[in-house]
Amino acid sequence: MTYVQFPQQKPIDFVAIGRLCIDLNANEFNRPMEETSTFTKYVGGSPANITIGMARLGKKTAFIGKIADDQMGRFIADYLRRDGIDTSNVVTDRTGAVTGLAFTEIKSPTDCSILMYRDNVADLKLKPGEVDEELIANAKMLLISGTALAQSPSREAVFQALHYAKRHGTVVAFDLDYRAYTWNSDEETAVYYNLAAEKCDIILGTREEFDMMEVFDRNPDRSDSVTANKWFDYSAKIVIIKHGKEGSIAYTRDGKRHRANSYPAKVIKTFGAGDSYASGFLYGVMQGWSLEDSMSFGSASACIVISSHSCSDAMPSADMVHDYIARCERGEITVS
């Protein structure tokens, strides 16, 4: 059963809009940030990680965003280009804005957190007039990401991108990617998330992220099916609710529920799970696979990334994900 039809004649498979940042991942594991002295630098930002994931899986990709006019900004743009990602719509800020930094703390494999430095960041300065309509028109899928909705003018740039996607029949996926630090209030967050989600074909988020969107809704039991069904009155064809290690559930417009369990993993840290899951899942859907197979592929991709030190560098190829699934099926990876 195919839930989403992609416009196959379009030359670009996937374009994402949103933040391009730097991750500084603690080199010393299993200790608090206060006791961590060295970090390794990687390209980061959830939509950037997802795009890198899609590129590694062999998709033709592009990115729409804004980088700082500094060494970090140039490092990010070079990294994307080396992965074959089209950066023609990655604009350089000229106002003195800086690159967002995410310092990651790895207290234990299950207790990780991110300390974000995001004042005056370049990614939130993308303007609607800077979004390239032709690029979106030429893409089969546009991915938007929640954090880009947190402030103007990036917020308007995302809505402009959504408008172009609708105008040109580009499928829209929304990774909720809620980062509390960037927002001013729960009400503002819910209003803008809901306005964007109304326009999207595929919505992916954790239970907690959907809870955040439901501050004005009645869902006292935090029911996944109540959450999903709301979006089928708008544009959604697939709504995925992720439950960490417990796996994920996809709801579809025909009233069906599709479940994927997670695979075992030798976890180093949990961040990056959502980004690698998203790229693996969206890749599967674009290949025309069943939702179950696409979700399993996303889950295995997540395991590879959470068993690694980085998010972007660790994004796997399709062969690596198939191999991981085969090794799990042979019982060679058992630690969870």
Ligand X SMILES: O=C(O)C[C@@H](O)[C@H](O)C(=O)CO
Rg (CA), the chain: 19
Instruction: Return the residues of window 275-294 that contact ligand ATP according to CB under 6 A.
Output: 275, 277
Report the DSSP beta bridge partners of residue 21. 44
The first and second tokens of residue 291, run together, are 């939702």
Nearest residue to 111 (alpha-carbon basis) of 178, 26, 174: 26
Cα→Cα distances 263→14, 235, 245, 325, Å: 26, 31, 8, 8
Distance CA 136, CA 317 (A): 25
Site string for ligand ATP, 307-336 (x = CB under 6 A): -----------------------------x
| Window contacting ligand ATP (CB under 6 A); options: 189-197, 210-218, 299-307, 316-324 | 299-307
Instruction: Confirm or reject binding of residue 128 to ligand ATP (CB under 6 A).
Output: no
Contacts with ligand X, residue ranges (CB under 6 A): 21, 23, 44-46, 49, 102, 114, 271-272, 274-275, 311
Site string for ligand ATP, 170-209 (x = CB under 6 A): ------------------------------------x---
**DSSP character string of 155-214:** HHHHHHHHHHHHHHT-EEEEE----GGG-S-HHHHHHHHHHHHTT-SEEEEEHHHHHHHT
Tell me how far, at minimum, the Cβ of 88 lies from ligand ATP, in Å.
28
Q: Please tell me what DSSP assigns to residue 58.
A: T
State the residue number with the nearest CB to ligand ATP.
274
* Selected binder of ligand ATP within 160, 248, 279, 294 (CB under 6 A): 248
* Selected binder of ligand ATP within 270, 294, 310, 312 (CB under 6 A): 270
Question: Which of ligand ATP, ligand X, none does residue 44 bind (CB under 5 to 8 Å by kind)?
Answer: ligand X
Question: Which of ligand X, ligand ATP, none does residue 21 bind (CB under 5 to 8 Å by kind)?
Answer: ligand X
- 8 Å CB contact between 124 and 148: yes
* Selected binder of ligand ATP within 89, 299, 308, 312 (CB under 6 A): 299
Report the DSSP beta bridge partners of residue 258. 250
Tell me how far, at minimum, the Cβ of 304 lies from ligand X, in Å.
14
Tell me how far, at minimum, the Cβ of 25 lies from ligand ATP, in Å.
13
- 8 Å CB contact between 61 and 142: no
* Selected binder of ligand ATP within 74, 168, 245, 327 (CB under 6 A): 245
Instruction: Confirm or reject binding of residue 244 to ligand ATP (CB under 6 A).
Output: yes
- 8 Å CB contact between 316 and 56: yes
Label the pairing between strands 257-260 and 39-44.
unpaired
Instruction: Confirm or reject binding of residue 272 to ligand ATP (CB under 6 A).
Output: yes
Determine how many CB atoms are found less than 10 A away from the CB of residue 177. Answer: 26
Q: Please tell me what DSSP assigns to residue 237.
A: S
Which residue's CB is nearer to ligand ATP, number 171 or number 267?
267
Residues at the site binding ligand ATP, with contacts judged by CB under 6 A? 206, 242-245, 247-248, 262, 265, 267, 270-275, 277, 299, 302-303, 306, 336
